[in-house]
Every structure is written in C-alpha cells, then in structure tokens.
C-alpha cells in the first residue's frame, strides 16, 4: 500500500461543477493533514489544513476520517482558475517535519 494514495486523474469538469478528491494514508500515527495545489512549473502552495471536525474555506471543504485514514477535498462552483494539480499531504507520524505527498490529482476546469 502506498503511504499516501490519491484518486488517479485527470479530472475534466465544466465551470460551475462540484468536484471531489479523495485520499487515503497508511500511517495511523499521522497527526497533520493538508491539501496543496500546484500549478504547472510552479511550487506547491498550501490550500488548507484538514482538521478532525472538517473545515471550510469559501468554496473549498476538507474532511478527515481518522478511523478510515481518509481525507477528502470538495470544490464547489469550480472556476477556470481552479485548474491545477491537487496534492494530499500527510505528516509522517512523529518524524518531525517529514511530509509525505500523494501523487497528485490533476484538475482541468473547462469553460
């Protein structure tokens, strides 16, 4: 089993669509969870941290299920500017600062 596994992409959706990304992780000792986005030939940018109670930031909602070791990201009313690769990222147990990245899911939002 991969350490952090994401839906294979790419996702091609029309503007205004709702799109959901899923992610599972294998290390039950992981405590911190994030979604990053990465535009082509740019650095990853932190989109949002993911908290146990779930959290929302505008059109973006993140959920965490520790029992299932599952993380999700929901994007509502998708915009052309949401086109990017979305990376599920998990800290690796108690190894201070070590983050493990999923392979990423490419999203393409079309007019």
Partner 1 sequence: DTEVTQTPKHLVMGMTNKKSLKCEQHMGHRAMYWYKQKAKKPPELMFVYSYEKLSINESVPSRFSPECPNSSLLNLHLHALQPEDSALYLCASSQPQGGAMMKGQFFGPGTRLTVL
Q: How far is the CB of 111 from partner 1 (least distance, A)?
A: 25
The smaller minimum CB distance to partner 1, of residues 20 and 46, is found at: 46
The smaller minimum CB distance to partner 1, of residues 17 and 55, is found at: 55
Residues 25-64 that bind partner 1 (CB under 8 A): 31-32, 34, 36, 42-46, 49
Q: What DSSP string describes the chain?
A: --SEEE----EEEETT--EEEEEEES-TT---EEEEEE-TTS-EEEEEEE-TT-EEETTEEEEEETTTTEEEEEE-S--GGG-EEEEEEEE-TTSTT-EEE---EEEEEE-
The smaller minimum CB distance to partner 1, of residues 42 and 110, is found at: 42
- Judged by the rule CB under 8 A, the positions of this chain that interact with partner 1 are 31-32, 34, 36, 42-46, 49, 87, 91, 95-99, 101-104
């Amino acid at each position: 089993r991969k350490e952090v596994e994401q839906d294979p992409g790419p996702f091609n959706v029309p503007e205004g669509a709702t799109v959901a990304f899923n992610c599972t992780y294998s290390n039950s000792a992981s405590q911190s969870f994030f979604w990053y986005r990465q535009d082509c030939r740019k650095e990853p940018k932190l989109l949002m941290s993911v908290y146990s109670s779930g959290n929302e930031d505008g059109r973006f909602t993140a959920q965490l299920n520790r029992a299932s070791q599952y993380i999700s990201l929901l994007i509502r009313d998708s915009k052309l500017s949401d086109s990017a690769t979305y990376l599920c990222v998990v800290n690796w147990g108690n190894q201070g600062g070590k983050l493990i990245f999923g392979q990423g899911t490419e999203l393409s939002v079309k007019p």
